[in-house]
Amino acid sequence: MIGISRLLVVAALAALAIPSAPLGAEVVTQSEAGFVVKLTADTSAQPADTWAALIAPAKWWSSDHTWSHDAANLYLDAQATGCFCEKLPKPADAPAGQRMGSVEHMHVIFADPQRGILRMSGALGPLQGEALSGTLTVTLTKTDAGTHIEFEYVVGGYMRMKGEEIAPAVDGMLSQQLASLAKVLDAAVSAAHAAPG
């Protein structure tokens, strides 16, 4: 049975899912064993610029979906065994000598900027406390207009939450992140075109 705190997390994630959906967002499959979500968006940015933005999550990931409540604490080392991690700054009243905290959101298992593929392993957000494994594959494909971005997140294992309840919330959360990434990229392209030159 899902506790009140887990229901609140699901409800909060679902509420955040409504705005800024990318061009395509779908829960492909779901069951008690796990789920798959697939999301797509298009940007006018070129693949190299899209890759550069992708691996700088502090510039586009929502602070609402961080443990520190500040996306500026996120970083991504885009090479195998690298970390998509977050610094947890020490509170002002921390004892002397206390170290800064940290969170691993995911770790990199495949990174190929030439082919536009980034694959990371990890259970995001509230999934981290469950006995789950998750694999997020990001694929960038050059188009005539710029770049097509695809997120595919496959999650499986044992969880106390119901897949049919959490999968739409995860889909919504990732939709928000992808929409934000595309928006940042398109804004950069617009600014570059508007600059005198």
Tell me the CATH number at 112: 3.30.530.20
pLDDT of residue 16: 40
Confirm whether 178 is domain-assigned: yes
Vertex 110 angle, CA 86 and 114, to 5°: 110
Confirm whether 78 is domain-assigned: yes
Per-residue pLDDT reduced to its tens digit, 156-176: 999 998 888 899 999 999 999
- Let me know: does 73 contact 89? Beta carbons within 8 Å: yes
Selected residue with higher pLDDT from 156 and 4: 156
pLDDT of residue 17: 41
Tokens 């595919």 appear where?
A: 152
Confirm whether 157 is domain-assigned: yes
pLDDT of residue 31: 86
Distance CA 71, CA 177 (A): 11
**Cα dihedral 135/152/148/189 (nearest 10):** -60
Write down the pTM of the prediction. Answer: 0.86
Per-residue pLDDT reduced to its tens digit, 70-126: 999 999 999 999 999 999 999 889 898 899 999 999 999 999 999 999 999 999 999
Selected residue with higher pLDDT from 194 and 84: 84
How many domains does the structure of the chain reveal? Answer: 1
pLDDT of residue 197: 60
Helix (H, G, I), strand (E, B) or coil at 53: helix
**pLDDT over 50 at 192, yes or no:** yes
List the one residue out of 122, 178, 121 whose CA is nearest residue 150.
Answer: 178
Determine how many CB atoms are found less than 10 A away from the CB of residue 97. 5
pLDDT of residue 23: 62
Average pLDDT, stretch 126-130? Answer: 94
Distance CA 138, CA 145 (A): 19
> Which domain, by its residues, includes 183?
22-88+100-194
Per-residue pLDDT reduced to its tens digit, 14-60: 444 434 445 677 888 888 889 999 999 999 999 999 999 999 999 99
